[in-house]
Amino acid sequence: MALSGLDIYKLLPRTNCKECGFPTCLAFAMQIAAKKVELSKCPHVSEEGKQALESASRPPIRLVSIGAGEGKLDIGNETVMFRHEETFYHPAGIGFLIEDTLGASELEAKIAKINKLHFERVGQQIGVNLIALKCVSKSPETFAEAAKKVLAHSQLNLMLMSEDPEVIKAAASPAKERRPLIYAATKDNLEPMAKLAKEYSLPLAVRGDSLDELSELAQKLTAQGVEDLILDSGTKNISQKVNELTQIRRLALKKTYRPLGYPTIAITSSDEPYQEVTEAAAYIAKYAGIVIMKGVEPWQVLPLLTVRQNIYTDPQKPLQVEPRVYEIGQVNDKSPVLVTTNFSLTYYTVESEVEGSRIPAYIISSYSEGLSVLTAWAAEKFTAETITKSLNECGIKEKVSHQEIIIPGYVAVLSGKLEEDSGWKVKVGPKEASGIPSFLKSLKT
Ligand code: SF4
């Protein structure tokens, strides 16, 4: 049973030394009880206390890593049901199914296509994480050969899919340095799969057709010393699957139910490409740790990466760009100067419209704590004073021979005060970024 904050407090040194980053041992104990910090932050807790507190401080959903090196995928260790309560920490991995019966050139072409599924969005690199190699051939040799090809042609993480331990073993041996995920242990192969996972120190997916069965299998595996588990409640329709993923998350977080305290995997079942995207998006939102799909077209994948990026952004820390002056195109001392806030989405929207206009321009991203134009204005983070400060500090005065600045149409009200404070002439730009190209063109005529 979970310990209360007071129970935990009694097991701490109670010296209030603050080394954990909290003002008192009691404050630290309360955070442990809420699963928001780990016990290791207190360097003074006794061995006896550690043992007693181990289960209270263990994350309700275990952190599991797949792969090795820079691109490894960390999933789990989430602490809340809803993103607005705190944040989601470890973005769902997105992977693609490849069958081992594909011919060599087809296999390489598909791997190459998956490797290219990386994009830049609002200043961040977003991309896919896994290749899920499925044994259809039933041949350990064919499967191992295909696994070697994937390893040789891609740095993405690998998932080995077969319920035959001999098939998995054939590929696990050459792949073990890349720490692939084994998929899957079931009630029929539990013992040999557990043995393989332990022998090669690999994470193991376990599949049960109901939550009861899944829970029972997970307990058997942990009893055998296999801890890095990923849970699969089997193939279901979307609503059933989302329901089960939600129940697993709820039981782990709200009831501290350890047998289901692991990240989950969902494999799409739809053969219709649009439907598959919808299905995958639903699983990313609630609450899969890994989503495996068949479609590899960029138009299918970019929306999913966007959904994932949005869901896993800390709601308390808006994405920001560095507040400074940006040069778009071949600017010169006569190029127009626009100002906006340093909220990433706002900045990149303005930037893409300026680029689209093909008129070189400067954009000053004025520090606004990452808020969008109207929100920042309402919060007094985007005012005549803050814009004047940006004009004075960003170095734009050395770059242009004029003193004219274009402000967003939504804050036209700032014009008079800004002219007064900065000494620059203010032009009111369009309210929507989409109006920027025609606005910039109108300046030239
Ligand atoms: S580091 Fe440990 S002893 Fe010091 S205040 Fe934090 S919990 Fe208490």
The domain limits of the chain are: 5-57, 64-311, 325-444
pLDDT of 186 over the 70 cut: yes
List Cβ neighbours of 406 (8 Å cut-off, separation of 6 or more). Answer: 336, 337, 338, 339, 426, 427, 428, 429, 439
Output the residue whose Cα is nearest ligand 1's atom 7.
25
Ligand 1 center from residue 51 Cα (angstroms):
17
The closest-lying atom of ligand 1 relative to the alpha carbon of residue 29 is: 7
Ligand 1 center from residue 36 Cα (angstroms):
15
CB distance 16 to ligand 1 below 6 Å: yes
Per-residue pLDDT at 317: 80
Say if strands 229-232 and 204-207 run parallel, antiparallel, or are unpaired. Answer: parallel
CB distance 20 to ligand 1 below 6 Å: yes
pLDDT of 20 over the 70 cut: yes
Ligand 1 center from residue 25 Cα (angstroms):
5
| Spatial distance between the Cα atoms of 382 and 371, rounded to a whole number of angstroms | 9
Per-residue pLDDT at 198: 97
Ligand 1 center from residue 22 Cα (angstroms):
7
Per-residue pLDDT at 55: 66
pLDDT of 432 over the 70 cut: yes
| Six token digits for residue 349 | 């929207």
Burial 9-48, CB ≥16 within 10 A → b, else e: bebbeeeeeeebebebbbebbbbbbebebebeebeebeee
pLDDT of 28 over the 70 cut: yes
Testing ligand 1's pocket by substitution, the residue of 12, 31, 37, 45 carrying the most ligand atoms inside 8 A of its CB is 12
**Which CATH number among 3.90.1300.10, 3.30.930.10, 3.40.1180.10, 3.40.50.11600 corresponds to the domain 325-444?**
3.40.50.11600
Output the residue whose Cα is nearest ligand 1's atom 8.
25
The closest-lying atom of ligand 1 relative to the alpha carbon of residue 41 is: 1
Residue type present at position 272:
E
Per-residue pLDDT at 445: 59
**349, 436 in Cβ contact below 8 A?**
no
Dump pLDDT digits (tens) for 193-223: 999 999 999 999 999 999 999 999 999 999 9
Dump pLDDT digits (tens) for 283-314: 999 999 999 999 999 999 999 999 999 999 88
Mean pLDDT of the chain: 94
Ligand 1 center from residue 5 Cα (angstroms):
14
CB distance 13 to ligand 1 below 6 Å: yes
Output the residue whose Cα is nearest ligand 1's atom 6.
20
| Six token digits for residue 160 | 């080995």
Per-residue pLDDT at 403: 96
Dump pLDDT digits (tens) for 266-278: 999 999 999 999 9
CB distance 19 to ligand 1 below 6 Å: yes
CATH architecture type of domain 64-311: Alpha-Beta Barrel (3.20)
Q: Per-residue pLDDT averaged across 70-80, rounded?
A: 94
Ligand 1 center from residue 130 Cα (angstroms):
41
Q: Do domains 64-311 and 325-444 have the same CATH topology?
A: no
Q: What is the CATH code for 5-57?
A: 1.10.15.40
Per-residue pLDDT at 54: 73
pTM reported for the whole predicted model? 0.79
Per-residue pLDDT at 298: 97
CB distance 375 to ligand 1 below 6 Å: no
Per-residue pLDDT at 35: 72
